Structure 1
Amino acid sequence: MKPISVTLLLVSLVLSSSFLQITIAGSSFCDSKCAVRCSKASVQDRCLKYCGVCCEECKCVPSGTYGHKDECPCYRDKKNSKGKPKCP
C-alpha cells in the first residue's frame, strides 16, 4: 500500500507542476503586452490590474500606450458598472 501512495503522490506533483507552468506561460503574453500598454500610465498598478483582467478575457491588448482600441473589439467594448470603459 505504501509504494502505491508514494507513486500517486509523485504523479500528482508532476501533473500539478505541469499545469502551473502552462498557466504561468499563458499569462506572460498578457504581462508583456500590459507592461507596454501601461508604461506611461499615472497609476501603473491599477492599469496593470485592469489590463491583465481584460487581456485574460479578450486574449488581446491594443498596441501602444493609449488608443488603438479598434484593434481589439472585446477589449474596447468592456464596460465597468458605471458604463465607462473598463480596459485601459
Structure 2
Amino acid sequence: MENIALIQAMTALAVGIIFGLGALGTAIGFGILGGRFIEGSARQPELMPALQVKMFLVAALVDAVAMIGIGFALFFMFANPFLAPRCTRPIEPLADPR
C-alpha cells in the first residue's frame, strides 16, 4: 500500500508542475508575441492587418501547447497507467437477495 500512496503523491506533484510550467510558458509566449506585434505595428503600420492575422494564429498554437499539457496532466491524474496494475482486481458479484 505504501507504493500506491507514493505513486499518488508523486502524481499529484507532477500534475501541479505540469499545470504551473504550462501556464508559465504560455504567459511568457503571449508576452513576447504581444510585444513583437506592437513593435512590428509601430515600425510599419501598413502591415498591421497581416501581422494581426499571424499573431492570432501563433497565439492559438501557443495556447494549444498549454491545452495539451493540461490533457496529459488530467490523464495522469484520473487514468494513471502506473496505478492500474496495482489497483485493479476482479469485481465480486453481488450477494443473492433470496
TM-score by length of 2: 0.38
Q: Which has the higher helix share?
A: 2
Structure showing greater relative contact order (alpha-carbon pairs closer than 8 Å, 6 or more residues apart): 2
Structure 1-normalised TM-score? 0.41
